[in-house]
Amino acid sequence: MEDAGFNEAKARYEDKADKALRKNAERRAEFTTGGGIPLERLYDPESIAGHEYAGHIGFPGEYPFTRGVQPTMYRGRFWTMRQYSGFATAEESNARYRYLLERGTTGLSVAFDLPTQIGYDTDHPMAAGECGKVGVAIDSLADMEILFDQIPLDKVSTSMTINAPAAVLLAMYICVGEKQGVKTSELSGTIQNDILKEYMARGTYIFPPHPSMRLITDIFDFCGREIPRWNTISISGYHIREAGSTAIQEVAFTLADGIAYVEAARKKGLDPDVFGERLSFFFNAHNDFLEEIAKYRAARRLWASIMKERFGTKNPKAQMLRFHTQTAGCTLTAQQPENNVIRVTLQALAAVLGGTQSLHTNSMDEALALPTEKSVETALRTQQVIAYESGVTNTIDPLAGSYAIEKLTDEIEAGAMDYIEKIDNMGGMLAAIEKGYPQKQIQDAAYEYQKAVESKDTVVVGVNQFQTKESDAAARKLLRVDASVEERQIGKLKKLRSERGNVAVKERLESIREGARDENANLMPLILDAVRVYATEGEICGVLREEFGEYVENIVL
């Protein structure tokens, strides 16, 4: 320490602290972050001794991007306020999107129902009961045309939470653009397209790993040529965290997934300096404020070094970790739902202080059902208050240099690196998933958390402490999707099947089958051709199911 008085002052402080401790013990024997990282009583310059500012932290817009990916960050432009939504049929969801756009949302984020996410048409027996429940039901291009009716695709960017059948929904989006007269190259948005976390944590897989990875790299290849502004994948830690992981595991497993995608694309002959620019990420914003801020910073620094050192990229844009954030759905409580507004505010603030590129804030009623218009508005207003009123957006990465934040950033990075090394030793993420390794880690963490809540070691306000007696949930107005939605959607589907040119549909489905059998073919143009003549999502995925087989989960409990 160059600071002459430091040692003396520190000794004095420690002495004082000891005296205080002898009088009164602290609230708990050990303090940790929400994700279990041990916390010291105090961080000081010694905590980050050995940091070289330029190499380790650096400046915004420069490697290793710890402080952010753009040189001006929110002084230039706020993050995209993007509220994930969709329910019932295309008509209802279209109305909700227009409602959101009118209120100042700056990007769309489409939630699809489960049959759409798993490649079944609404009239498939496996789809019974699920139509329109967790998102909008899309069976064919006809539905997609209604979904984006009067929404100019050259003006908004659209993120679609779609994974196993991502190619099909992207094809539909391209076709809607064509019909609106928007050039494919001008479309912008994101498809989630991240199958590995589906195997690990979210469960909407269809095909086994090998053909799934092929579909993903087919999309990388196609988009690189046709839709240069499209984010071809959103490598997601969000759902890993929702499934119960710690913050370190969230970073580790997400980046390990990223490594697997880069390796798959390289094997296909794609250049990481090119496709690397279009990789995007998606993280959770959980309760522990400081840990979360540090998490985003650590993820950025670690990914930059992976892309530079491990994959040898030269293009800085291919080294930048750009990410979307959603506040943690699993922290919302059904009890005293108003408290959720406060939770969401803190989580959103962490995401902003962590330098997110786009943000979804959850609505307070989401522990019970899909959100109502009113609660969605409050959630959006939360972002606007942070952006326009809080002042935290007016200087870049304002918590940099905080001893605690920098130390936690280091620890999360190091913890994540340990996991990545373990996964490398298992032969990569695919092999690790096959062994059930990340699944087991996530479940262990989830179970530990549950036990901590039940023993009240972890306090959840309104749930295991500060409960109120009267039930306020029952009186609440909830959004409900009734069974008539399914009937209507099936009616539309029947009509479509009887009116379209079925000969062309059949031919194009057969072309997809041939393409599936030929590893060197790119399936994306073939899917586009089939979508254009109104082949349904279920028909296209049905052919692929026949050719590729279906994945069965690996249960490790």
Partner 1 sequence: MHKLTERALSGDIRAMARLISMAEDRADGIDSFMKELYPYIGRTWIIGVTGSPGAGKSTLADKLIEHFRERGGVKVGVLAIDPSSPYTGGAILADRLRMQRHTADEGVYMRSLAARGSLGGLSRGTREAASILDACGFGIVIIETVGVGQSEIDVMRVADTVCVILAPGLGDDVQAMKAGIMEIADIFVVNKADKPGADRVVNEVRAINRISAVVKTVAETGDGVPELGAELRSHWERVREGEPGKLREAARMCSKIEEILAERISESARRLWAKRQNEILPLVLNRQLDPYSAADIILSDITFFLRG
Partner 2 sequence: MSESGKKIRVVIAKPGLDGHDRGAKVIARALRDAGMEVIYTGLRQTPEQIVTTAIQEDADGIGISILSGAHQFYFKRVIDLLKEKNASDILVFGGGVIPEDDIPGLLEMGAGAIFGPGAPTSSAIEWLEKTVAAKIN
Residues that bind partner 1 (CB under 8 A): 208, 434-435, 549, 552-553, 555, 557
Q: Provide the pairing of β-strand 230-231 with 233-236.
A: unpaired
User: Does 114 interact with partner 2 (rule: CB under 8 A)?
Assistant: yes
- Residue 416 or 430 with smaller CB distance to partner 1: 430
Do the beta carbons of residue 36 and residue 30 sit within 8 Å? no
CB of 117 to partner 1, least distance (A): 21
- Residue 47 or 333 with smaller CB distance to partner 2: 333
Rg value, the chain, Cα: 24
Sheet holding 107-110, edge to edge: 230-231, 189-191, 158-160, 107-110, 80-85, 358-360, 323-327, 279-285, 233-236
CB of 447 to partner 1, least distance (A): 12
CB of 425 to partner 1, least distance (A): 11
User: Does 327 interact with partner 2 (rule: CB under 8 A)?
Assistant: no
**Token digits for 52?**
């070289």
Residue of 367, 461, 496, 504 interacting with partner 2 (CB under 8 A): 367
Binding-residue pattern over the window 123 to 162 for partner 2, x denoting contact by CB under 8 A = --xxxxxx--xx----------------------------
Residue of 153, 195, 215, 243 interacting with partner 2 (CB under 8 A): 243
User: Does 483 interact with partner 2 (rule: CB under 8 A)?
Assistant: yes
Q: How far apart, in Å, are the Cα atoms of 261 and each of 197, 233, 415?
A: 12, 9, 21
- Residue 449 or 548 with smaller CB distance to partner 1: 548
Query: Counting beta carbons within 10 angstroms of the beta carbon of residue 108, is it exposed (0 to 12), middle (13 to 18) or buried (19 or more)?
Result: buried
Binding-residue pattern over the window 203 to 232 for partner 2, x denoting contact by CB under 8 A = xx----------------------------
Angle between the 289-305 and 247-267 helix axes, to the nearest 10 degrees?
Answer: 20
Scanning residues 406 to 445, which ones bind partner 2 (CB under 8 A)?
Answer: 443
* C-alpha dihedral sign at 486, 488, 490, 496: negative
**Token digits for 461?**
């306000």
Q: How far apart, in Å, are the Cα atoms of 69 and each of 13, 75, 346, 354?
A: 38, 13, 22, 11
- Residue 546 or 553 with smaller CB distance to partner 1: 553
Residue 496's binding partner out of partner 1, partner 2, none, with CB under 5 to 8 Å set by partner kind: none
- Residue 72 or 450 with smaller CB distance to partner 2: 450
User: Does 343 interact with partner 2 (rule: CB under 8 A)?
Assistant: no
Calpha distance 367→314 (Å, rounded): 45
Residues 6+ apart with CB under 8 A from 102: none
Greatest alpha-carbon span in the chain: 86
- Residue 368 or 426 with smaller CB distance to partner 1: 426
What does 33-87 look like in DSSP terms, one character per residue? -TT--B--S---GGGGTT--IIIII--TTSTT-TT-SSSSGGGT-PPEEEEEE--
**Token digits for 468?**
């109120």
Residue 212, SS3? helix
* C-alpha dihedral sign at 376, 378, 381, 383: negative
| C-alpha atoms less than 13 angstroms from C-alpha of 429 in its C-beta half-sphere | 24
Residues linked to residue 358 through DSSP beta bridges, in sequence order:
80, 324
Scanning residues 179 to 198, which ones bind partner 2 (CB under 8 A)?
Answer: 198
CB of 124 to partner 2, least distance (A): 10
Residue of 98, 267, 478, 499 interacting with partner 2 (CB under 8 A): 478
- Residue 72 or 425 with smaller CB distance to partner 1: 425
Residue 435's binding partner out of partner 1, partner 2, none, with CB under 5 to 8 Å set by partner kind: partner 1
Do the beta carbons of residue 221 and residue 284 sit within 8 Å? no
Residue of 39, 274, 334, 461 interacting with partner 2 (CB under 8 A): 334
- Residue 491 or 549 with smaller CB distance to partner 1: 549
CB of 434 to partner 1, least distance (A): 8
Task: Return the closest-CA partner of residue 207 out of 259, 244, 168.
Answer: 168
CB of 220 to partner 2, least distance (A): 24
User: Does 553 interact with partner 2 (rule: CB under 8 A)?
Assistant: yes
- Residue 151 or 367 with smaller CB distance to partner 2: 367
CB of 480 to partner 1, least distance (A): 31
Residue of 96, 202, 286, 297 interacting with partner 2 (CB under 8 A): 202
Residue 460's binding partner out of partner 2, partner 1, none, with CB under 5 to 8 Å set by partner kind: partner 2
Residue of 244, 258, 272, 438 interacting with partner 2 (CB under 8 A): 244
Residue 191, SS3? strand
Residue 327, SS3? strand
Binding-residue pattern over the window 381 to 400 for partner 2, x denoting contact by CB under 8 A = --------------------
- Residue 190 or 335 with smaller CB distance to partner 2: 335
Binding site for partner 2 (CB under 8 A): 114-115, 117-118, 120, 125-130, 133-134, 198, 202-204, 242-244, 330, 333-335, 367-370, 443, 446-447, 450, 453-454, 460, 463-464, 471, 473-474, 478, 481, 483, 552-553, 555, 557
